[in-house]
Amino acid sequence: MGRGSGEALGNTMTVTSIGLDIIEIERVRRALARQPRLAARLFTSDERAYCDGRADPASHYSARFAAKEAVAKAVGHHLRWQEVEIVSDRRGRPSVTFLGESAAWAGVTRGARCLLSLTHSRDYAAAVVVMLSPPPSLPEDEPTRSVLV
The full DSSP string for 54-85 is SSSHHHHHHHHHHHHHHHHHHHTS---GGGEE
- What count of residues does the chain have? 149
Asked if 43 contacts 64 with a C-beta cutoff of 8 angstroms, the reply is yes
Kindly report the number of other CB atoms within 10 A of residue 107's CB atom. 19
Half-sphere exposure of 114 (CA within 13 A, CB side): 32
The set of catalytic residues is: 73, 120
- Report how far Cα 118 is from the mean position of its chain's Cα atoms: 9
Return the DSSP state at 99.
-
Separation between Cα atoms, residue 84 and residue 44, nearest integer Å: 9
